[in-house]
């Protein structure tokens, strides 16, 4: 239970934070959120199922709310607080702003750190080795990359760089980064020269930290691997922020992809690598693994040939309209199905061989039995081979899962006709059981929060997506934003003559948009499709209008130019598609006029969306009402959420899609928006 001592401690912390917050305003919603999180963590609602869904509107102060409730409890119970976010922006806010502020003013003593995947860190020894021996890798033979390596090493030694990709002052090309990124084969803790590499130093911070900040992907990967980085779930309090992204993050993580084409040069490289390994590894056991890998790779490619042949025979039927072909109901063609078990087994065994050979190479280097100059290129080649067989193993393992009665996967193949290269994919339709099995049923407690968790004012949709519908202790809380929507923002629905599904709608946008844009203010113009945005922007530019359009420069460059123009009093019109409707922060004068051209319906054109729609239909449901409308309603709320970011913000939202008032589903979407003052033109 929640003790009086802990309640009083949380109240005192709250008072301390309030007195140190600039322009603090009382937030009843935040108080309610703190209380509900504290009660959930303490088991006030259920003795073991401590799970809470919280929708907290913009301006609630949800980050400080969950820190206030969870950190004192975590310290008291000797638990680790794991905060998982979907975006880098929120991670940076937590680590650079919210947590330092909380630590300074709460009176509590604790450590916190940001936990990132291994490949976000450089291996300093790799940098040194490639500087000392430039011929190790062809990539680093030119002068410019060598200068870059020296600069990185100097910055590391002078502590001007933390050794990770995110703290680089200037971005680095992918091919350069991958050549120096940490990985288990090259940057092993077993080798003392790597003890001070950035990755191992960062991992050492985990042990003494009460609060760990991660992203959704790393959290899922660690849970799936059996908690190799983070503490066991039973010892963790999880706060999943931006939780509306978790189902998609789960589908991305548990899906599989593998190329089905192996170009001749790749096969030659594989053969050459095994020959070189046989020539330099001194251990007797290593030779056995080299021969085994060679044999397994050969057997795997033989088993794959009939699959490749079937794709070649069917390519003119399968890829007539789209570059992908989805297997209806996830039923594999006979050739795929009959070879799946063997391909899964062979790729799994090959992967095991590669891992053993990496270990042999690492030992040979540590014991100085083989020169580094010989080992490093082979480690790179083995890592590439390992990645290939890992992809194959994951794909064919998913393809062996029966799908007769209950279809739970989407399966498809793609063809790049220019290069005649084919690939295969598999994705779960739902990750609810996986999330429940790995996270919710194992955790000490879980709090999931977001500004958009409900759909059409109901938690039912997200409960099903996350697998929480049957949880006995599940609690839900909806905290309204403290913003004065009624007086700070107005919603205008102009009288449009054309249905958005008509081709003539684009022409009407070109004709009417100038009436709803303000040349002297901060504007955000959102489109449902890139092609429509481009057509409208081109037509209005010809009439003298100026736009900052997505795709014409980096997102950050566009935002900086937009801010510069608005602050100079020139006004600016920023244009974008759906990716600009979330995570875009334009406070104050940077955005006072938001124009949404069309409801952001997603056309089920991807194989995964097609399969999800097919599965709903098979169950007797309506995919449009059960999948498309809820997703669109949430996106619309997110889009409208761009306008008011601070309590003093004000402005107007214009939506040029009359389906909000002419369709039953549209009226429900309109009702689910914040209580803006509304004007609906007849």
Res. 602: pLDDT tops 90: no
Lowest-confidence region among 106-110, 131-135, 399-403: 131-135
Picking from 167, 194, 172, 175, the residue whose alpha carbon sits closest to that of residue 183 is 194
Spatial separation of the C-alpha atoms in residues 464 and 460, rounded to whole Å: 6
Lowest-confidence region among 25-29, 265-269, 579-583: 265-269
- Measured N-to-C along each axis, helices 264-280 and 372-399 cross at an angle, to the nearest 10 degrees, of 130
Q: How many residues does the chain have?
A: 682
Contact 436, 228 (CB under 8 A): no
Tens of pLDDT, residues 550-572: 999 888 899 999 999 999 999 99
Contact 128, 153 (CB under 8 A): yes
Spatial separation of the C-alpha atoms in residues 25 and 484, rounded to whole Å: 13
Mean pLDDT value of segment 343-370: 86
Cα dist from 157 to 118, 178, 180, 492, 498, whole Å: 20, 21, 16, 57, 63
Q: Which of 12-16, 115-119, 359-363 has the highest mean pLDDT?
A: 12-16
**Residue 319 φ/ψ, nearest 5 degrees:** -115, 40
**55 or 194: whose pLDDT is higher?**
55
Tens of pLDDT, residues 430-479: 999 999 999 999 999 999 999 999 999 999 999 999 999 999 999 999 99
Tens of pLDDT, residues 8-55: 999 999 999 988 988 777 889 999 999 999 999 999 999 999 999 999
Beta-ladder partners of 80: 236
Spatial separation of the C-alpha atoms in residues 111 and 108, rounded to whole Å: 10
Percent of the chain with pLDDT over 90: 66
- What is residue 144's predicted lDDT score, i.e. its pLDDT? 40
Residue 109 pLDDT class (50, 70, 90 cuts): very high
What three-state secondary structure class fits 662? helix
Mean pLDDT value of segment 374-388: 83
Q: b/e string for 260-295 if b means 16 or more Cβ within 10 A?
A: bebeeeeeeebeebbeebeeebeeeebeebbebbbe
Helix (H) or strand (E) holding 525: strand 522-526
Res. 416: pLDDT tops 90: no
Residue 282 pLDDT class (50, 70, 90 cuts): low
Residue 654 pLDDT class (50, 70, 90 cuts): very high
Beta-ladder partners of 426: 256, 411
Tens of pLDDT, residues 118-176: 989 998 888 887 787 766 554 433 334 788 888 888 999 888 898 888 888 888 888 78
Helix (H) or strand (E) holding 10: helix 4-20
CA 501 to chain centre: 31
Query: What does the mean pLDDT of the chain come to?
Result: 90
Beta-ladder partners of 324: 414
- What is residue 239's predicted lDDT score, i.e. its pLDDT? 98
**Residue 569 φ/ψ, nearest 5 degrees:** 80, 10
Contact 366, 125 (CB under 8 A): no
Contact 676, 654 (CB under 8 A): no
Give long-range contacts, CB 8 A cutoff, 24+ apart: 8-12. Answer: 9/72, 10/34, 10/38, 10/68, 10/69, 10/72, 12/107
- What is residue 141's predicted lDDT score, i.e. its pLDDT? 37
Mean pLDDT value of segment 88-96: 87
Mean pLDDT value of segment 509-529: 95
Strands 522-526 and 475-479: unpaired
- What is residue 142's predicted lDDT score, i.e. its pLDDT? 38
Q: Which of 195-209, 371-385, 524-538 has the highest mean pLDDT?
A: 524-538
**HEC per residue, 130-161:** HHHCHHHCHHHCCHHHHHHHHHHHHHHHCCCC
Res. 584: pLDDT tops 70: yes
Mean pLDDT value of segment 286-294: 88
* Interacting residues of 276 by C-beta distance below 8 A, sequence separation 6+: 378
């Amino acid at each position: 239970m929640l003790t009086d001592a802990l309640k009083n401690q949380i109240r005192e912390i709250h008072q301390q934070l309030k007195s140190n917050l600039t322009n603090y305003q009382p937030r009843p919603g935040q108080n309610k959120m703190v209380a509900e999180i504290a009660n959930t963590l303490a088991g006030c609602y259920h003795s073991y199922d401590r799970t809470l869904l919280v929708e907290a509107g913009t301006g609630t102060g949800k980050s400080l709310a969950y820190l206030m409730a969870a950190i004192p409890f975590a310290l008291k119970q000797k638990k680790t607080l794991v905060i998982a976010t979907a975006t880098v922006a929120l991670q940076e806010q937590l680590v650079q702003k919210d947590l330092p502020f909380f630590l300074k003013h709460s009176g509590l003593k604790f450590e916190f750190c940001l936990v990132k995947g291994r490949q976000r860190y450089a291996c300093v020894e790799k940098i040194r080795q490639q500087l000392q021996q430039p011929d190790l890798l062809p990539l680093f033979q030119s002068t410019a990359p060598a200068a870059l390596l020296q600069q990185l090493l100097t910055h590391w030694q002078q502590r001007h760089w933390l050794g990770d990709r995110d703290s680089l002052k200037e971005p680095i090309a992918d091919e350069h980064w991958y050549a120096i990124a940490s990985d288990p084969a090259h940057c092993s803790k077993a080798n003392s020269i790597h003890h001070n590499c950035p990755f191992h130093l960062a991992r050492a911070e985990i042990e003494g930290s009460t609060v760990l900040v991660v992203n959704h992907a790393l959290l899922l990967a660690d849970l799936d691997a059996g908690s190799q980085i983070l503490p066991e779930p039973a010892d963790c309090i999880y706060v999943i922020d931006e939780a509306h992204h978790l189902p998609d993050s789960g589908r991305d993580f548990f899906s599989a992809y593998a190329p089905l084409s192996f170009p001749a040069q790749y096969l030659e490289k594989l053969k050459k690598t095994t020959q070189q390994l046989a020539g330099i590894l001194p251990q007797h056991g290593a030779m056995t693994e080299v021969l085994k890998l060679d044999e397994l790779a050969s057997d795997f490619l033989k088993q794959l040939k009939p699959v490749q042949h079937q794709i070649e025979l069917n390519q003119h039927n399968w890829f007539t309209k789209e570059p992908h072909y989805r297997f209806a109901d996830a039923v594999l063609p006979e050739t795929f199905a009959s070879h799946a078990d063997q391909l899964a087994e062979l790729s799994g065994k090959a992967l095991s061989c590669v891992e053993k050979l990496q270990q042999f190479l690492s030992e040979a280097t540590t014991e100085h039995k083989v020169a580094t100059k010989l080992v490093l290129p082979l480690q790179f080649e083995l890592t590439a081979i390992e990645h290939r067989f890992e992809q194959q193993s994951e794909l064919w393992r998913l393809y062996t899962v029966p799908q007769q009665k209950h279809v739970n996967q989407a399966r498809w193949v793609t063809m790049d006709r220019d290069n005649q290269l084919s690939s295969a994919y598999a994705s779960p339709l739902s990750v609810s059981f996986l999330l429940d099995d790995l996270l919710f049923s194992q955790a000490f407690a879980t709090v999931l929060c977001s500004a958009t968790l409900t759909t059409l004012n109901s938690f039912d949709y997200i409960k099903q997506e996350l697998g929480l519908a049957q949880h006995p202790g599940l609690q839900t809380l909806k905290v309204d934003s403290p913003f004065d929507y009624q007086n700070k923002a107005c919603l205008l629905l102009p009288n449009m003559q054309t249905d958005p599904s008509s081709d003539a709608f684009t022409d009407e946008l070109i004709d009417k948009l100038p009436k709803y844009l303000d040349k002297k203010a901060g504007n955000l113009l959102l489109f449902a499709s890139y092609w429509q945005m481009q057509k409208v922007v081109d037509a209005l530019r010809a009439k003298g209008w100026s736009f900052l359009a997505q795709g014409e420069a980096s997102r950050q460059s566009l935002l900086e130019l937009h801010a510069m123009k608005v602050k100079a009093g020139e006004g600016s019109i920023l244009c974008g598609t759906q990716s600009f409707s979330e995570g875009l922060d334009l406070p104050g004068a940077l955005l006072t006029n938001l124009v949404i051209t069309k409801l952001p319906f997603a056309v089920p054109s991807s194989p995964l969306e097609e399969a999800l729609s097919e599965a709903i239909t098979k169950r007797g449901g309506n995919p449009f009402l059960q999948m498309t409308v809820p997703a669109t309603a949430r996106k619309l709320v997110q889009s409208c959420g761009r306008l008011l970011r601070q309590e003093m913000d004000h402005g107007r939202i214009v939506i040029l899609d009359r389906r909000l008032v002419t369709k039953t589903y549209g009226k429900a979407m309109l009702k689910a928006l914040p209580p803006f003052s509304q004007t609906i033109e007849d």
